[in-house]
Amino acid sequence: MINRKGRRDEKDPDKASYHASVSNSVLLRHVSKITAFKPLKTVAPRDATTKKLLFMNLGVLFKTGSVDQALAKGFEQKKQDYSGKWEPTTLTGYFILSHDITKTKALTCADCHSAKDYIELNKLGYGPDRIKQLTSQNDKRYR
């Protein structure tokens, strides 16, 4: 397993998930109801023996639909250890959602974290106490 810091977890190499590094990861603890990140789960080939991810040429994959051909081209492009057998593994990555917001049109923290309740926190399932905490004008993080 590759841990949140992007390092292989030697204690449990058979686990096949990857979480992008997100500092103080509220996202990974599933505490926040809304985040600026979108999870993306995908399947990728890894060596069946070493459990290491294998580099493949995506252009070949998209053109032919063949993982084997994409891996062969990937091996030409980048030397890598390969036992001769691969297996699928699930990866999870997190991508930031920007919605192509420009600096001049972007909201500030205070737009959502204010008494205006711009994003209707109650409809997202937050209770009154948590809404008060999130919209507190005394919290310097949101100024």
8 A C-beta contact, residue 6 and residue 21: yes
Q: Please name which of 81, 137, 83, 82 lies closest in space to residue 111, comparing C-alpha atoms.
A: 137
pLDDT in tens, 94-110: 877 665 566 776 777 77
Per-residue model confidence (pLDDT) at position 10: 47
Long-range contacts of the stretch 97-106 (C-beta < 8 A, 24+): 97/36, 97/37, 97/38
Per-residue model confidence (pLDDT) at position 23: 39
Amino acid at 81: D
Q: Which residues of the chain have pLDDT under 50?
A: 1-30
Q: Where are the alpha helices (DSSP H) in the chain?
A: 26-29, 58-64, 67-77, 109-112, 128-134
Domains of the chain, by residue range, sit at 1-101, 107-143
